[in-house]
Chain A
Amino acid sequence: MDSLQLQNIRKSFGSMDVLKGVELDVTRGEFVVFVGPSGCGKSTLLRIIAGLDDQTSGDVRIDGKLMNGVPPAKRGIAMVFQSYALYPHLTVAKNMALALTQEGVAKAEIDTRVATAAAMLRLEALLDRRPSELSGGQRQRVAIGRAIVRQPSLFLFDEPLSNLDAALRGGTRVEIAKLHRQLGATMVYVTHDQIEAMTLADKIVVMNGGVVEQVGRPLELYNRPATKFVAGFIGSPAMNFIDGATAARVNAAAVGVRPEHLVVGRDGSWSGTISHAEHLGADTMLYVEVPEIGLFTARIPGDVAHDVGDIVGLTPQEGRLYRFDREGRTMTG
């Protein structure tokens, strides 16, 4: 059965259409990640699923039940916010217990659930502290704990890790993945982070301007992007696009090749001057200025001897050149 079903969801703020007919099915236990440029409506969609905002039209179903107009607390969901949104005047334990107290769950049951969640998130030592006495990472774990104790059928995360520093983000990401395996609950997760999207998701939903561009498994989106937008959005650094005569030669409006699929040699399909090089150890990023076409990014495994000012040739690997038509759709064959 579908854990979450969105049918033709539209949302307008005044005269501005933010969501323009979103369709989505999420099966039970799936980890779904929403990605898309800033302002494309990811948070708005999440808030509609949560019941914090009402859709202008369309249906939201959770576990098969129609949820239009049902208040957030009655939807069987839990949400984790970017800003943690912990109750400042309550201790960690009370923060986690509040929803259960509201539901009228028995005291003993509340205590066990809070203890279990605290153990899962290594929060036992912090249960009597207030949010102001916690670090950012601890606060986010409490926020996640507050979601877990409710035992929701659907978890909603809105950029939960973007306030954390890089190291902590990595750690918490792994923890969320582990949590998903342990709980087996359905999770919907909004992020800007490519790595989070690629590593956590069973299914990525790429949104653009209020519509879903493509839905698919991470590698499916990487290998077979349906549109130029998805091709440019998934993968980091972003795909190189070439239009004009080069593209016309293969009957396309534009062609694209990922930085990691460019072979650098003495000569190649395009030749240009290296304008900047980043030596990361494991990889080398070369920024190559090709006359009349533009800047290419190439990612080469290992450390290479090339340096700024060198003239190099770039060739796409066999079968790694994507072609796009005038509407931005990927052309096959």
Chain B
Amino acid sequence: MMYTTRTSPLTRGVVHLVLVAYTLLCIGPVLLVAINSFKSRAAIFRSPLSLPDATTFDLIGYRTVLGQGVFARYFLNSMIVTLGSLGCVLLFGAMAAFALSEYRFKGNKLLGLYLSLGIMVPIRLGTVAILNMMVASRLVDTHLALILIYTAQGLPVAVFILSEFMQGISKDLKDAGRIDGLSEYTIFFRLVLPLMRPAVATVAVFTMIPIWNDLWFPLIVAPGEATKTVTLGAQVFIGQFVTNWNAVLAALTLAIVPVLVLYLLFSRQLIRGITAGAVK
């Protein structure tokens, strides 16, 4: 990327200082978790900020976590739920955004507003009602329960952001497709969606992380052994009186890996998404 900035070195220095500080603030805790997961229990408490060395290096945490065969299952559960919800959010979010920006009908604006309203109302306010619904429909302790909830949770932002991007897609292109006899579905999947890749990747990352990290809904609607997610699974090491910090930190560190992989998959597209229009 080649572009020249006209800002003074001082301004740029300050901007970079702020950015570096913010980066440290974000990465710090994660790094701390990762570092300490490789240390013995005593070393964690004695000097939590130091790196593991020959005397303090200990894989006891990982041994505990991986020794428990169920953890693989927890990872699988987290994956199923996250990818399932992500798929639904992206598919339905993009389709709704397409309909809202492409078709003019009465109440179009109002419907868009209504769909975005969820951004302002936290879904957890409805926990009791959701639990009642899940019980009534016998979905408690199923992956589907979590997928449905997270789809509902992710859709408002997805619809909102994707609608904005959808506006920017050439109207002529879609019209050319119509004249060539493509169905609305073909236009959506073959013409529009490929052009929306950066936006979809952006939404994917923003949607995926809270779902993967969530503790609340797994605890409430799917606490069973068969559907436990990693975040919930890691809680077994946190007791009321004693906490197995080695295991907790190791479990959390392991839990970062899959999201990191997914993030890297999306990130190439993501960067393009964020800077699209800004650098052109």
Contacts and interface: CB of A to CB of B under 8 A. Distances in A.
B181 A85 contact: no
A79 B170 contact: no
Contacts of B182: 98, 102
Contact of B195 (A73, A88, A150): A88
A247 to B, nearest CB: 45
Interface string B157-183: 000000000000010110111111110
A99 B180 contact: yes
A162 to B, nearest CB: 13
Given A83-B172, A85-B172, A87-B173, A102 B179 contact: no
B176 A73 contact: no
A102 B195 contact: no
B194 interface: yes
Contacts of B33: none
Interface in B93-115: none
Contact of A89 (B172, B179, B194): B194
A52 B175 contact: yes
Contact of B170 (A50, A85, A98): A85
A85 B176 contact: yes
Given A82-B172, A85-B170, A103 B179 contact: no
B191 interface: yes
Nearest to A89: B194
Bin chain B's interface residue count. Answer: 10 to 19
Interface string A71-86: 1111001110111111
A72 to B, nearest CB: 5
A102 B181 contact: yes
Contact of A50 (B177, B179, B194): B179
Contacts of A88: 194-195
Contacts of A102: 180-182
A78 B180 CA distance: 8
Contacts of B175: 47, 50, 52, 72, 79, 81, 85
Interface in B127-181: 170, 172-173, 175-181
Contacts of B170: 83, 85
Contacts of A87: 173, 176-177, 190-191
Q: Is the interface of B mostly helix, strand, loop or mixed?
A: helix
B173 A73 contact: no
Given A87-B191, A88-B195, A89-B194, A73 B172 contact: no
B172 to A, nearest CB: 4
A79 B176 contact: yes
A99 to B, nearest CB: 4
Contact of B178 (A73, A83, A86, A150): A73
B64 to A, nearest CB: 50
Interface string A34-64: 0000000000000100101000000000000
A79 B181 contact: no
Nearest to B173: A85
A87 B172 CA distance: 10
B127 to A, nearest CB: 42
Contacts of B176: 79, 81, 85-87, 146
Nearest to A78: B179
Given A82-B172, A83-B172, A87-B173, A73 B194 contact: no
A86 B175 CA distance: 11
A81 B181 contact: no
A71 B178 contact: yes
A98 B180 contact: yes
A28 B80 CA distance: 61
A61 B190 CA distance: 32
Contacts of B190: 87, 89
A86 B173 CA distance: 7
A99 B172 contact: no
Give the most central of B170, B172, B180: most A CB within 10 Å: B180
B43 to A, nearest CB: 55
B191 A73 contact: no
Contacts of B173: 83, 85, 87
Nearest to B181: A73
A43 B179 CA distance: 15
Nearest to B182: A102
B168 to A, nearest CB: 13
Interface of B: 170, 172-173, 175-182, 190-191, 194-195
Given A72-B175, A73-B181, 7 more contacts: A52-B175, A71-B178, A73-B179, A78-B179, A82-B172, A88-B194, A99-B181
A-B pairs, top 5 by smallest CB distance, nearest first, are A73-B181, A99-B180, A85-B172, A102-B181, A85-B176
18 contacts: A47-B175, A50-B175, A50-B179, A72-B175, A72-B179, A73-B179, A77-B179, A81-B176, A83-B172, A83-B173, A84-B172, A85-B175, A88-B195, A99-B181, A102-B180, A102-B181, A103-B181, A146-B176
